[in-house]
Amino acid sequence: GDKAFAQFLTDEIKEEKKIQKHKSLPKVSGGWELEVHGTEAKLVRKIAGEKITVTFNINNSIPPSAEDEPQEEQKPDEQEPELTSTPNFVVEVIKEDTKQTLVLDCHYPEDEIGQEGEEESDIFTIREVSFQPTGEADWKDTNYTLNTDSLDWALYDHLMDFLADRGVDNTFADELIELSTALEHQEYIRFLEDLKSFVKCQ
């Protein structure tokens, strides 16, 4: 059984490498620096006395809908639908002269992606906003967290503009999807390779 499994994995790795779009990770425009630790990625940018970091994790970032459809209906020459990774991401804005960090929890709403109908609708939304003490690893549940569900839309628009002024806009969100998808695929191939050597190990 293990031999067949290893052979299957070898073929699968070959296939995945064939369809791999990016041999190296795509860059995000606007002078963001990328740090990757396993499945977590962090983009950092400094502007005028502020440090902006955007953190996301590729785990569970592929929406489930792609896998639910029955596979039988595929015509043989059809490519599998491309999986796109749309991770939640956290934007932290740190002003260097204060001890506080403004934290904005953003995500890609599932129904928005790929809808072209509305003009200029944002492809990501802000879910929660809070202040956290700068430099502390653990965020406190005791800090007030603003949920945007019941938020005055004018305030929400200002928050979106605030992000856009710091380079977190639709273009950025598109490039983040591209980066995250490439990263996810790279990690998937690495996982298959690890699995193969694990299975072959006697």
DSSP string spanning 35-76? EEETTEEEEEEEETTEEEEEEEE-TT-S-THHHHS-GGG--T
Domain count, the chain: 1
Residue 195 lies in a domain: yes
Question: What range does the domain containing 189 cover?
Answer: 1-60+83-111+118-200
Least reliable range by pLDDT among 16-30, 76-90, 153-167, 174-188: 76-90
> pLDDT > 70: what percent of the chain?
83
Dist CA 27 CA 15 (whole Å): 25
Residue 10 lies in a domain: yes
Residue 196 lies in a domain: yes
Dist CA 36 CA 55 (whole Å): 10
What confidence tens digit (pLDDT) does each residue in 28-52 have? 999 999 999 999 999 999 998 899 9
Predicted TM-score (pTM) of this structure: 0.84
Q: Could you tell me the CATH number of the domain that includes residue 41?
A: 3.10.280.10
Residue 68 lies in a domain: no
Residue 162 lies in a domain: yes
CB–CB of 17/197 below 8 Å? no
CB neighbour list of residue 147: distance below 8 Å, 6 or more residues apart: 127, 128
| Higher-confidence position of 99 and 175 | 175
- The structure tokens listed for 188 are 């998937």
